[in-house]
Structure 1
Amino acid sequence: MLRLLIVDDEKQIREGLGNTINWKDVGIEHVYTAANGYEAFKVVCDKKPHIIITDIRMPVMDGLELCQLVKEAYPSIKIILLSGYSDFSYAKQGIVIGVNNYFTKPVNIETLLVFVQTLVSDIKREQIEKNTFKQKIFTYLSMNEEQESTAILNQLCLQENIPRHKNRLFCIMVEFDQYENLETDYDKATRLSIKRTIKKVVCETFTEPMHSFHFSSQQDNQLAFYVFCNTYDHVQAFKDEVTHRVEEIRSLVEQEQLSLTFGISKTYSKFNFQKAFLDAKDCLAYKFFMGYGKLIFSESMDQDPFKTHKKITLNHDDIAQGIKALSYEKLIQGVQSLFDAIRTASDADEVKGFLTYLIGAIGNEMKTIYKQMHIIDDMVEGYCSKIKQSETIMDCFNIVETFCIDGLEKSNHNLIHSNNNLIGIALDYMHKNYRDHISIETVSHYIDRNANYFCHLFKKETGVSIQDYINAIRIKQSKQLLKNTSLMAYEIADQVGFSSYKYYYNCFKKNVGLTPTQYRNKTFHADTKYI
């Protein structure tokens, strides 16, 4: 949407040009007016018009002074001067300053509109060129093509009206977290809508109140901003403002169940685009260790423990023992201790390389139990691929943990079939011994398996936990005793194997919907109804 500013101290001319011409016919959506150069420059700073039509002779601040200020602050704005015949020498000064044309009063409206239409075409062409530049710039910066990127960015500074006196800059990089989920969880139309909305929010948040411009990666999963300031600006105040605005963005993005990570460079002298970009990009690399949705400042990384190299050593004895014992608990404890050791490693690729090796080592241990080796090999290949694509160290932990569970299930499944239906043996034991104070531990001990892992396996196979299954047997038997005997409820609780009446009472009510006494009374009345 293009914007036009009309500046003239004569109200009749000002309002006549503003209100009697259908500017939308030539591509102008918004028209603003001002009575002198001083008022006009405030409008320029606030509204950032694309075209200014201004008189020369005005009180407070004349048109030439306005042109000078505008061209210094916003060099890409197009300017048309209006002058009387006697002002022609001033008009020539305007051409030197960089105005695009001048017209003598009274203005021929048709001629003026034709020229405005030409300017509109030029602006649209420049916007297309600017978008083309922005598509190239991310690639150039990423490939460290400093000469090419600097030339394009200098041109963008002019097109984006970055004031010349803003001689310092810093770079903000914004990255969609778990971008592949956005690609797979939504259809194309919804995905595009979400990305447009978030990009619009981010761009408006950083661009409108600041001297900045943005560009995005070809995959559209990253945005970069250059924010410009000058030597006299309080840079920390700028960054405090950025922090505040990031919090605003987070709350909006969370509504879409998404998150963004922000990397913010140090402050550099103007035209050090490459250094600022790479600095901000390095900040994003720390997302691997710090997790999703963080705001990462380059200054805070200088003294960070992640920058202190710590050699990773491989010791997976605990993991090997956990696999041999089919102990889910021991296995995960071993994985956790390894992850605790690598959290302060200095390089994400080194960590990923270590973890792919670890998955291979775990796979080799599993092969000693699970004889169908090609299945383990396929698992190892699939999980190693996931490690390479992971974005954070917690993602890696979850991948390794899932691999261990998956491998143990396959290994244990192999043993179940070779041990004549282990679950069936456990069920038979529970039905025969529910009156004793049996527990998860006694059942697991009977079948000679690790308690934690057998719990996991039992629930997977039956849909209920071991304890819930034992309780269900006991409740069923207690209902028969309530109905057919005169035993007190606490006596029945003890007879069917509950360790306390209170626990029996709670379990009974949860399963049956009545207390033991209510159930007995209900069944008694039902039996005597027909006597």
Structure 2
Amino acid sequence: MLKVMIVDDEPSTREGLEMFIPWEDLGFEIVGTAEDGFDAIEKYKELKPNLMIVDMKMPEMSGIELIQKIREVDSSIQFIVLSGFAEFEYARNAMKYNVKDYLVKPVDEDELIPILTELAQGFKKEEEFSRVKKKMDEENKERVIQAAVTGECLDELKELFDHLKWNRFRILLIEVKKNEYSLGDIKKQLKQVYELDKKGLIFTTGSYIGILLNADQEVNNNIAHIYKAIHQNIQAKFVASISQTFKEIEDLSTQFNIASDLIKDQFFYDEGIILHSDSKPVITVEEGVSKDKISSFQLSEVVAQLVFALEIGDKKVIERICMNAGKYMIFNELSEQTIKEKYIEIVTSLLKKLMYENKNIHETVSNILSRVYEIETQSKLTELLTYVTTLLEEMLDSIDSSDSDILVKKMIKLIEKNYYKNIKLETLAKVLNYNRFYLGKLFKDYTGEYFNTYLDKIRIENGKKLLLQGLKVYEVAEQVGFSNVDYFHSKFKKYVGESPSSYKKNHGLS
């Protein structure tokens, strides 16, 4: 609706115009009335009408004086003047101020309505023209920026920069993930946030929405604030990057490429941040780590390590091996796609090896293999590592503990942790729910040693360490699990070739 104000010192005229003209049907609404020029000026400032119907003769300030004052600050407002006399001089003075029409009181309804109809059509055409012009101006600005990021149209860009009167700039790039919102909707939303307050100019290039930021505004230098503002206004998943601050137009293309490269490497960074030149990848090679060891990455070695981790049932070791594999690949500067392919190769090689060695896990392996290629869909390295370790832990949970090799390895691990206790094969057989003689045979076949012999050797090896620490022979015997010191003495001499005292003397302690 177009806003109308009626200014007349006669209440009957004001009321008559309000009552007898079908304003809404004609596309207008009365937003206010005034009884003199001073009252009208104050209300004009507040109401900003599109049309004022003004009486020529009013006390203290005439209609012509009122029109003159308002026309000094507003060239778009329209006026219709009223007078009690059909005098040419009034009409001529009114027309100097671009008045739409001049009507003699009392106002004839049939005379005013055609004028209002013509005015409404004029406003509509003007509004459409302004809209088109604004759109063309915006499109031209965007075209200039789009060309400038490739190093073209620098002269036109300089004109735009001079017009903006900004001294420093930054490029912010946003890549929106697949969602129900179109880039046009998001772009429109960002325009309301940035362009209305002259914080930045919005443009699109390729799959990115870009913002040429006014870095003179201190708030735009706060990256956390920028992320929060975008997050509040984009109801979709996105990744964003920001360039360094620059002053020269020749730097725009370079800074755009820096921001673009950061987005292309988003796989290596965390979610929920705006990427910038100081951003740290989620996986880095720590100082002091041997670069030679990292650079000599062997896929078969990673698979072998994971096989062992699965066999001993250690989830933390599985996570560490997967993480280290990522470090190997990052140090060797492998691309996102190559890293995904390598992890797929690691998991498939591992599963095939396990399936060959464990005949009873075919169904689980097949199930996991059917999901291995989802590794390629992971958008972040952290997501990929979590997905891979989840698959391997699922494999770990399905491995049958009755497999003989796995069983013996568990026994060895148990011995190494508890050698100083009163460990017996009979006790283990009960715990593992196996026949003692069968379990002993499995152990002998795998290690080449009888259970008790293997246990004695573990105890003696640990006893040697304690002797070199200065402990007395009887103290060592007790700490490694021999209740009788003479028995320890005889076992030690059998496996070491000398007595505990001689070993202690001959290996550096007097």
TM-score range for the pair, normalised by the shorter chain length: 0.3 to 0.5
TM-score relative to the length of structure 2: 0.47
Larger radius of gyration: 2
TM-score relative to the length of structure 1: 0.45
